[in-house]
């Protein structure tokens, strides 16, 4: 989800790791894109599930993660549409 505040837009991306009894350390890019801008942040996690926040000066339309070449894992094929959270 994303929402606008006095500093711009704040988008939350939940990353989940599965398929193993113990989570591995993963490195990846978090990508947030708007109509004509893209912001890329690098992140890592050893958790089964972790929420990341990305601040932008543009309204995000899609969010995705890119794990290759940082981690041996599958990346979702299509970016996920970002929904605006109007709840405060």
| pLDDT tens, residue by residue, 3-43 | 999 999 999 999 888 888 888 888 889 999 999 999 999 99
Q: How confident is the model at residue 51 (pLDDT cuts 50, 70, 90)?
A: very high
The better pLDDT of the pair 4, 75 is held by 4
| 69: preceding bond cis by omega (within 30 degrees) | yes
**Closest Cα to residue 59, out of 29, 39, 87, 79?**
39
CA distances to 15, 45, 59, 79 from 28, rounded to whole Å, are 10, 9, 22, 14
**Closest Cα to residue 13, out of 57, 43, 37?**
43
What order of strands is seen across the sheet that includes strand 62-66?
38-45, 26-33, 62-66, 80-81
pTM of the model: 0.78
């Amino acid at each position: 989800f994303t929402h606008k505040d006095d500093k711009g837009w704040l988008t939350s991306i939940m990353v989940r790791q599965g398929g193993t009894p113990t989570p591995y350390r993963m490195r990846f890019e978090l990508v947030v894109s708007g109509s004509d801008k893209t912001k890329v942040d690098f992140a890592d996690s050893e958790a089964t599930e972790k929420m990341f926040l990305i601040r932008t000066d543009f309204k995000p339309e899609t969010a995705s993660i890119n794990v290759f070449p940082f981690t041996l894992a599958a990346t979702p094929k299509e970016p996920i549409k970002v929904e605006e959270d109007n709840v405060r």
